[in-house]
């Protein structure tokens, strides 16, 4: 029998200049059943707690050590030092530190120290300015875990939206919609909806790429040449796929009640709809990894960092989702 996943969650604090450290500290003020370890520069969190005038005890943690869960306690795995710790002031010198916190959390998950990792927001631009090619958490975790393909999915209590492509310029999207990519993405989405979310026969609504799903080829042929044949092939594997559907009507009750998740072709086709319905409560989940990873649905909010005005609801939801997915995994290994 496989070993049950750890119940401890790793929480990376993200960009030091942003609201990630603030949110970690705010979450530590709450009573929680989840064993949570923040992966960050412990001195950064000390300093931010003082700036925010929060009465929190920040305690150093090492793998194998018990985790304190009571309100007002925060366990921190300090794996690197942030050269610049000021709220609201981006510094490319912090890029290596940010990436090391992510890499350390991945290593901890792969070793079994953690059952999942939760990520606070990072700033892609300043990481690239620091000399590191970085297009986002999703792609970085794919590289760290050495897997061929991962899938970004955002979820609210009412809606799940996965993406066929993620952080690409719009002019590159059509060329990226290939039969190979769609096949990989849909298989991952189907498998993780089944294994991680407990959906025995998940129903997946697939958006077309073009307006009106191509209007029979008059508004683009990607649906005819690529999407429809790929869906037909995957249906032969027993995957329940509905579409391709016009994206402008897919997100209506008539269709959504028929599906468990939506597959959008590109980032801004599906995520604006999801965020308009549940911003602040949405959770970003990376599918296709050998580890569980969830994240917030917002950015670094530099103007709010260090002010005490940052809203912790999305991080709270990301932690709750990670804990739920760990519990599902633990049940699977116990059977």
User: How far apart are the C-alpha atoms of 123 and 205, rounded to whole Å?
Assistant: 32
328 labelled as ligand-binding?
no
- Cα separation, 207 vs 249, in Å, equals 10
- What stretch of H or E contains 270? helix 267-278
275 labeled binding residue: yes
Local structure of 206: helix, strand or coil: strand
By the 8 A CB rule, do 111 and 40 touch? no
- Do the annotations mark residue 85 as ligand-binding? no
Q: Using an 8 Å Cβ cutoff, are 173 and 266 in contact?
A: yes
298 is in an annotated binding site: no
Residue 221, marked binder: no
Is 212 annotated to bind ligand? Answer: yes
Which residue, among 244, 124, 240, 248, has the nearest Cα to 193 in the 3D structure? 240
293 annotated as belonging to a binding site for a ligand:
yes
- 267 marked ligand binding residue: yes
Dihedral sign, Cα of residue 251, residue 256, residue 258, residue 263: positive
Give the separation between CA 265 and CA 83, rounded to whole angstroms. 39
Query: Which residue numbers belong to the known binding site?
Result: 137-138, 167, 212, 267, 275, 284, 293
Query: Which residue numbers belong to the known binding site for a divalent metal cation?
Result: 167, 212, 267
Query: Which residue numbers belong to the known binding site for substrate?
Result: 137-138, 275, 284, 293
């Amino acid at each position: 029998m496989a070993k049950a996943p750890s119940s401890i969650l790793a929480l990376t604090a993200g960009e030091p200049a942003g609201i990630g450290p603030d949110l970690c500290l705010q979450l530590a003020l709450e009573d929680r059943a989840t064993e949570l370890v923040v992966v960050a520069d412990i001195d950064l969190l000390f300093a931010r707690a003082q700036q925010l005038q929060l009465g929190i005890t920040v305690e150093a943690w090492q793998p194998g050590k018990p985790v304190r869960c009571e309100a007002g306690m925060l366990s921190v795995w300090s794996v690197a030092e942030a050269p610049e710790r000021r709220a609201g002031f981006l510094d490319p010198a912090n890029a290596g530190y940010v990436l090391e916190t992510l890499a350390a959390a991945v290593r901890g998950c792969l070793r079994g120290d953690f059952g999942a990792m939760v990520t606070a927001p990072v700033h892609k631009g300043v990481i690239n300015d620091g000399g590191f090619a970085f297009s986002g958490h999703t792609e970085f975790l794919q590289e760290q875990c050495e897997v061929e393909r991962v899938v970004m999915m955002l979820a609210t209590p009412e809606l799940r939206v996965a993406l066929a492509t993620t952080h690409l310029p719009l002019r590159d999207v059509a060329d990226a919609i290939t039969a190979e990519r769609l096949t990989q993405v849909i298989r991952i989405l189907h498998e993780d909806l089944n294994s991680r979310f407990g959906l025995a026969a998940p129903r997946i609504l697939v958006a077309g790429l073009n307006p009106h799903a191509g209007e029979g080829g008059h508004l683009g042929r990607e649906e005819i040449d690529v999407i429809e044949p790929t869906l037909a092939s995957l249906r032969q594997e027993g995957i329940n796929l509905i579409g391709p559907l016009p994206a402008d009507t897919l997100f209506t009750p008539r269709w959504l009640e028929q599906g468990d998740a939506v597959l959008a072709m590109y980032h801004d086709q599906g995520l604006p709809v999801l965020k308009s319905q549940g911003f602040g409560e949405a959770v970003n989940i990376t599918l296709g990894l050998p580890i569980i990873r969830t994240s917030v649905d917002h950015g670094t909010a530099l103007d709010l960092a260090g002010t005490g005005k940052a809203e912790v609801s999305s991080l709270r939801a990301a932690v709750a989702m990670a804990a739920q997915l760990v519990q599902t995994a633990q049940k699977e290994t116990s059977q």
